[in-house]
Structure 1
Amino acid sequence: MPNISADREVSIDVIAPDSSRERVSVVQVPFLIGRGKAGNNLPIQDPRVSRQCAAIVSEGDEFCLEDRGHRLGVFVNGKRIDRRILKDRDVISFGLDRSYTLVFRITERASPSLQTLLTRMDSVAEGYASSGGLGKLKLLLEATMLLHSQLPLDSVLEAMLDRAISLCGADRGLLLEKDGTGTLRQRLARERGSQGLSANSLSPSQTAIGMAVRQESSVITEDLHLADGALQGAQSVIAQRLRAVVAIPLYAMSRANTEASMVHAQRGQFLGVLYLDSQRPAAFSSLDRQILDAIAIESASILDNARLVEHERERQRIEREFGIAREIQQALLPRSFKDFPHLVISGVNTPCTEVGGDYFDVFSIDKRRTAFLIADVSGKGLGAALLTPMLQGALSAMAMDVTPERAFQHINGFLCTHSSVGRYATMFFGILDVDGSLEYINAGHPSPLLLRSNEVTELYTKGSLPLGLVPEAQHTIDRARLEPGDTLVLFSDGVTEAADVNDNLFGVARLQEMLRGHHESPLDQVKESIVKAVEGFSAGISQADDLTLLLVRYSGTTESDGPIASVATAGQATGGGA
């Protein structure tokens, strides 16, 4: 097991579900992560984590994280990985709610130059000459040690703020954090003596804070009587008789481990402001300022880690909600197709995201007639998925003697009336009698393909409007007749609009060609052939639409159904009209 180079410090911040934290050094690779201490360098105390979960390995001068078989996957910055090069402050999680989160840390141990050593010696000497120099250095050490503690996040931030107040001899201190809207909100307020304050009881100098944010640099005023006019005349300064103000903007550090990361161009996201004030004038030595800057950097580091962890936990929450929505949506699809005496049916739905807007169903109208449909709600995600139960409810009402035209009129009216929803739906709906007669309505959906005696044609060629676009739209029934052995292939545009690496589309013609020769193949085999053909064509390219198929094969009547009615020609079957 090779050791880590002495000129680099590699570690992991382990953040527990209660926000307590500790830092674990990575001293050799591979560095194994998993449940339990046996065989692991970093044991995760969560029974849901796999025993062999992940490993950090070296790859040249870089470090990689590998998924070693965790059943829910290993994530870096919210994205599932198999293997990934790690950068400083990358957030590692395991797809679990309220579990441990890891923050990868790597820094270079640069050998200090002679000039750097001399500068440090001068600073320390200046600290000795001033009152409490050693005590101030002790404050910095304590603040640094807080990063490695197992205290909850707010306790660490409170202790950091207390030390900044002590260093400056300030009366009060405040930590302002930027919220999701970009507004600075008061997260913590403290006063001298490590006492807590109600955040609303402290009115900081908005002028000083505004200057620090605009200038993107610290505002440290030792005596406000000598400050510029804007700061000296600020209302809060006068009302509270303030004499000294400190406002330091806090920034996430760039992930690049170089000196350039300290300059403005390489700064990370703005996180908030560390604010201190006093009713007495102050006198800051260069050592005081260095220590204050160091405490501000450490505070920013804590906030940054907390932000990254919170983002990861939010991602996990959204992922769980999408998972629940997907389960509900899949439950709406037919789990198994009934043994209809005159039909054989097969179908599949594969969303392009966690949940999608495609939907299909098959249900009995009465003893002779069976309804089947395929629909595609515009858009993807939860918004589209929420409309599919409404479609199912409206159409299932036809089992209670509601006509197809009336059901379509109701759906169209609802979607148009609630135009703020911003959704419309295409749909093909058919009712097949045991004698082979087919009644159908097409609302802007791609025409099903009719596979008959090795010939493939489109069932419907006339245009139609989707549901939810035009309130006055009329959707009328068309009719055709199926022969025994005929197969209808209903599909969403996720099939024909699947794209390859050159943005070529799979297309209807290609679907028709691959269906030829399958008129006697089992429907499940036909379905799998289509899915494989589309997947092979797109060659792993991420697709923009759900892939949905519904295959309906008419098998003819039985003796109990009466004689088979006369059959139409293929040309009649592809036409519309009564």
Structure 2
Amino acid sequence: MYVGDPQLTASQVLRTFHHDELYLFLGAAFTAVGLVSIAFAFLGRKFDAMLFWLALFAIFYGQRLWLHLGLLTLIIPPSHFFDDLRAIGNYLVPIPAFFYFEAAGFLGRSGRKIAIVLTSVFLGLAVATMLFGQRDAFQLTNNLVVIVSLFALIIQSFTRKQADKDFVIARRGIIVFVIFALFDNIGGALGYRWFIEPLGFTFFLATLGYVAAKRGLHRDQQFNALQKELEIARRIQTSILPPAYPQSPHFRVAARYVPMTAVAGDFYDFLVADQTQAGLLIADVSGHGVPAALIASMVKLAATSQRANAADPALLLAGMNTVLCGNTQEQFVTAAYVYLDAESSTLRYSAAAHPPMLLVRSGNVIELTENGLMLAAFSFATYTTAIHPLEPGDRLLLYTDGILEATNAQGEEFGSSRLHTLLKKAANLRAEDAAASILSSLEQWSSRSQNDDLTLLVCDYLCANTPSQSASLPGLTATPA
């Protein structure tokens, strides 16, 4: 009978509803849990295959539960299509189940192959039902395959050598579900129609929910602990950076340091900072995050160990390279160092595979390049020092490649030409304001999230004790390390 049948009474409908109300609720609950789980599987920081297959399993199981309710047969007239649809639902439910067991590690090393073979069997039964209709042989095959697979699953779960508490809890849920499922499937093979498997599935989902909640709480605790450690690491790394450049009658220095993450691989230092001399070092470790930050600390130590050579940039970089080689786990460092002497009105500059230093003079931007090989990569690397005259009003810019490689929404890099233009526009600003202007313009240009550490040093030379030099930078002098 169905609702269109005039012989159907209200008491029969009510009786059927009361018989099915538990399974109506369970079907809705399983489907809801599945939809929420599938959202978490995709929205997490990393796709969770185990959660995805569990979600499909729960959704399929909930829909299959509804298809077998007596209340549904009162709504839909009897038809071969509906009978075939229910049978196909039976065959499709085990497919995500076995992929879940494979992802959870219950099927051993051959889990993927086992899941694929079983999927082929169940898909074959579903296709055969669509082509030929429901057959007892198909249902018997389904019951036998499920029974054998469930027995094998229990045996496999107990043969696992190492089992943590979460695995043991999940295993108990699976065992309860398997027992209930075996009861229904064995009964079905013998011609009986019990329907207690959903109760076992409820217990199974409850155990998985407990494990998921416990692991989620543990991950949150780990994440909070990691955030605290990163904050400590950030404070430690910031502490190795120098304080503001001291007041000087000859130099004004502004520094800007913007790490991509809590800690960074960029580094700068003032190796010399007195009334008439300045030694400015900037460095960039390959990579990002904690590994790069640890090596940046090593760069600090290497630079400090070479402070005696602060007046000779080539010798200083060569000494740093000797200290770093073989100690950076195959990561390399680019660096640039400039030594400024107000008494002689000269600058000495050397670099190791670093972007060129920029000199702003009389409204023009001049690139100063004196590059050797990167630090920490080649023990035989040598460096040379370029000597240039200094003039009052000169502005120097040292920076890391994150400035040049910042990209906009179209993937276009900021590049050196835009940096030159910015420097010209900011020529009349104080060093602090010029540094802030550069970073502000860079932030406006780059609509994407920051993809590299950003560091820059702006140094203004105010006056010299000797007459001004020519603006053409004559007589480049290079001295080897």
TM-score, normalization by structure 1: 0.52
For residue 570 of structure 1, the aligned residue among 449, 472, 475 is 472
Q: How many residues align?
A: 353
What amino acid does structure 2 have at the position aligned with 1:448?
M
Shift of 1:344: 0.3
Once the two structures are superposed, the pairs formed by residues 334-345 of structure 1 within 5 Å of their partners are: 334-345=242-253
2:454 match: 547
* Deviations 1:107-164 (CA, angstroms, capped at 9, x unpaired): xx99x979625699xxxxxxxxxxxxxxxxxxxxxxxxxxxxxxxxxxxxxxxxxxxx
Matched residue of 1:441: which SS?
Answer: strand
State, as a whole percentage, how many aligned pairs show the same letter: 26
1:381 match: 289
1:46 match: none
Matched residue of 1:439: which SS?
Answer: strand
Instruction: Say yes or no: does 1:455 pair with 2:364.
Output: yes
For residue 485 of structure 1, the aligned residue among 393, 413, 419 is 393
Shift of 1:318: 2.4
> Would the aligned equivalents of 1:482 and 1:567 in 2 still touch at CA under 8 Å?
yes
> Would the aligned equivalents of 1:448 and 1:488 in 2 still touch at CA under 8 Å?
yes
Instruction: Say yes or no: does 1:116 pair with 2:25.
Output: no
- Residues 401 and 418 of structure 1, relative CA distance in 2, 3 Å threshold: closer
1:296 match: 204
Instruction: Say yes or no: does 1:273 pair with 2:171.
Output: yes
- Residues in 1 aligned to 2:455 and 2:397: alpha-carbon distance in whole angstroms: 11
Can you give the 5+ residue segments of structure 1 that lack an aligned partner in the other structure? 1-6, 10-61, 63-75, 80-88, 90-108, 121-176, 185-204, 218-226, 235-243, 249-270, 558-562
Shift of 1:311: 2.8
Shift of 1:405: 4.0
Matched residue of 2:473: which SS?
Answer: helix
> Would the aligned equivalents of 2:260 and 2:454 in 1 still touch at CA under 8 Å?
yes
> Would the aligned equivalents of 1:378 and 1:425 in 2 still touch at CA under 8 Å?
yes
For residue 556 of structure 1, the aligned residue among 448, 463, 473 is 463
Shift of 1:371: 0.8
What amino acid does structure 1 have at the position aligned with 2:374?
P
2:336 match: 428
Shift of 1:331: 2.0
* Deviations 1:307-331 (CA, angstroms, capped at 9, x unpaired): 3333333333322222222222222
> Would the aligned equivalents of 1:454 and 1:518 in 2 still touch at CA under 8 Å?
no
> Would the aligned equivalents of 2:283 and 2:334 in 1 still touch at CA under 8 Å?
yes
- Residues in 1 aligned to 2:261 and 2:267: alpha-carbon distance in whole angstroms: 14
> Would the aligned equivalents of 2:384 and 2:478 in 1 still touch at CA under 8 Å?
no
For residue 350 of structure 1, the aligned residue among 258, 261, 266 is 258
- Residues in 2 aligned to 1:431 and 1:455: alpha-carbon distance in whole angstroms: 21
Shift of 1:272: 5.3
- Residues in 2 aligned to 1:535 and 1:459: alpha-carbon distance in whole angstroms: 26
1:49 match: none
- Residues in 2 aligned to 1:303 and 1:229: alpha-carbon distance in whole angstroms: 24
2:347 match: 438
Larger fraction in helix: 2
- Residues 295 and 119 of structure 1, relative CA distance in 2, 3 Å threshold: farther
Can you give the 5+ residue segments of structure 2 that lack an aligned partner in the other structure? 1-23, 27-35, 37-42, 52-61, 74-99, 122-146, 159-168, 185-193
2:55 match: none
> Would the aligned equivalents of 1:366 and 1:399 in 2 still touch at CA under 8 Å?
no
- Residues 453 and 306 of structure 1, relative CA distance in 2, 3 Å threshold: same
* Deviations 1:230-268 (CA, angstroms, capped at 9, x unpaired): 979x9xxxxxxxxx97969xxxxxxxxxxxxxxxxxxxx
- Residues in 2 aligned to 1:283 and 1:526: alpha-carbon distance in whole angstroms: 75
> Would the aligned equivalents of 1:78 and 1:315 in 2 still touch at CA under 8 Å?
no
* Deviations 1:395-449 (CA, angstroms, capped at 9, x unpaired): 1234445764444234323443236x12111111111112221112111111111
* Deviations 1:2-59 (CA, angstroms, capped at 9, x unpaired): xxxxx999xxxxxxxxxxxxxxxxxxxxxxxxxxxxxxxxxxxxxxxxxxxxxxxxxx
2:231 match: 323
What amino acid does structure 1 have at the position aligned with 2:365?
V
- Residues 464 and 410 of structure 1, relative CA distance in 2, 3 Å threshold: closer
- Residues in 1 aligned to 2:408 and 2:108: alpha-carbon distance in whole angstroms: 56
Instruction: Say yes or no: does 1:501 pair with 2:409.
Output: yes
Bigger radius of gyration among the two: 2
Shift of 1:333: 2.0
- Residues in 2 aligned to 1:290 and 1:413: alpha-carbon distance in whole angstroms: 69
Once the two structures are superposed, the pairs formed by residues 97-112 of structure 1 within 5 Å of their partners are: none
> Would the aligned equivalents of 2:271 and 2:281 in 1 still touch at CA under 8 Å?
no
For residue 412 of structure 1, the aligned residue among 299, 309, 321 is 321
> Would the aligned equivalents of 2:252 and 2:459 in 1 still touch at CA under 8 Å?
yes
> Would the aligned equivalents of 1:246 and 1:276 in 2 still touch at CA under 8 Å?
no
Larger fraction in strand: 1
- Residues in 1 aligned to 2:155 and 2:300: alpha-carbon distance in whole angstroms: 64
- Residues in 2 aligned to 1:528 and 1:230: alpha-carbon distance in whole angstroms: 66
> Would the aligned equivalents of 1:365 and 1:399 in 2 still touch at CA under 8 Å?
no
Shift of 1:523: 1.0
> Would the aligned equivalents of 2:302 and 2:323 in 1 still touch at CA under 8 Å?
no
TM-score, normalization by structure 2: 0.61
Shift of 1:367: 6.2
Shift of 1:291: 2.5
- Residues in 2 aligned to 1:498 and 1:206: alpha-carbon distance in whole angstroms: 46
- Residues in 2 aligned to 1:564 and 1:272: alpha-carbon distance in whole angstroms: 82
Matched residue of 2:280: which SS?
Answer: strand
- Residues in 2 aligned to 1:516 and 1:465: alpha-carbon distance in whole angstroms: 30
1:128 match: none
> Would the aligned equivalents of 1:398 and 1:404 in 2 still touch at CA under 8 Å?
no
- Residues in 1 aligned to 2:208 and 2:69: alpha-carbon distance in whole angstroms: 24
* Deviations 1:169-217 (CA, angstroms, capped at 9, x unpaired): xxxxxxxx999x9767xxxxxxxxxxxxxxxxxxxx989x999988599
- Residues in 2 aligned to 1:183 and 1:115: alpha-carbon distance in whole angstroms: 31
- Residues 293 and 474 of structure 1, relative CA distance in 2, 3 Å threshold: same
Once the two structures are superposed, the pairs formed by residues 28-427 of structure 1 within 5 Å of their partners are: 116-117=69-70, 273-274=171-172, 276=175, 284=183, 286-364=194-272, 368-400=276-308, 404-418=313-327, 421-427=329-335
What amino acid does structure 1 have at the position aligned with 2:347?
L
- Residues 450 and 404 of structure 1, relative CA distance in 2, 3 Å threshold: closer
- Residues in 2 aligned to 1:326 and 1:113: alpha-carbon distance in whole angstroms: 55
What amino acid does structure 1 have at the position aligned with 2:305?
A
Matched residue of 1:417: which SS?
Answer: coil
Instruction: Say yes or no: does 1:523 pair with 2:431.
Output: yes
Shift of 1:507: 1.1
- Residues in 2 aligned to 1:315 and 1:363: alpha-carbon distance in whole angstroms: 37
